[in-house]
Amino acid sequence: MDLNLKDRRVLVSGGSRGIGRAIVECFLAEGAQVEFCARSTEGVQQAQQAFGPRATGTAVDVTSSGQMQEWVAAAASRLGGVDIIIPNVSALAAGGDPEVWRKAFDTDLMGTVSMVQAALPWLKKSASASVVLISSVAGREVDMFAEPYGVMKAALIHYGKTLSERHAVDGIRVNTVSPGNVYFSDGVWGDIERNQPELFAKCLASNPLGRMATPQEVANATVFLASDAASFTTGTNLLVDGGLTKGVQF
C-alpha cells in the first residue's frame, strides 16, 4: 500500500527516543521530511546523526508555549509548510502531589495544545493536513497509571475528537492512537523490568498476545492514520494494545 507520504512535511515532538523515535523513522522510510524536537540537546544530537539529512532536530521544552511556537514557526519555514503533526511528549507522571499533577498537565496536555495551536495556521494551508495525538489505554480504563497520567490521556482523547469536529471544514483530519504496554529498554517498562521484576511479570501476563508492543508497532498505526490511506478517517481513537483493554468500543 502506498501511503503517499513522499515529501510530506512532518513535525514530531518527543522524537529522540521510544515511540517518538520510531514514528520519525517510519515517516522517513516513507520519504517524508521530518522536523523533530525533544528536551535533551544531547538526545536530539544523537538522534539527528542516526536519522540522516531528511530529519532536523531541535531541543525544545514543550511546557513552554513560547518555545513551541518558535520551533513550529522555524520548522515550517525550513520545510516550506506543515502537512502533519504528531504531538508525542509525556511526563509519565504518577502520584497525588500537586506538583506532579502540574507537571502532567503542562507536559501531556498543554504541550500538545501548544503544538496544535502553533501549527494550525500552517495546517490550514495544506492540501493533506493531519494531526495524530498520542494517548494511552490508561486514558480509557483505570489502571496502575490512573492519575494523573491516565486523566491527562483521557483529556487528549476528548481534545482530539473536539479538534476533528472543529477543523473538518478546514480539511484537517484529527485522530488519536492509544497504545497499551510498549516495551523498550530505556522506557518505563524497561525500568520496571529491572527494578520491579514481579510487577513486570504480572503486567506482562495481562497481555493476551503474550508480549508488549514495540515502538515500531505504535509508529505503524500512527503513520497510517496520518497518511492518505486513512483519508476518510477522522475523530477516531485507535487502540494499539494487543487486546489488553476489555471494554467494547461502540
Active-site residues, by number, are 135-136, 149, 153
What is the H or E stretch that residue 240 is in? strand 237-240
DSSP 8-state code for residue 91: -
Residue 134's beta-bridge partner residues?
177
Cα gap 185→191, rounded to integer Å: 7
Question: Apex CA 151: angle with CA 214 and CA 164, to 5°?
Answer: 75
What is the H or E stretch that residue 37 is in? strand 33-38
Residue with grid cell 510487577, as numbered in its chain:
199
Residue with grid cell 521484576, as numbered in its chain:
197
Contact 228, 3 (CB under 8 A): yes
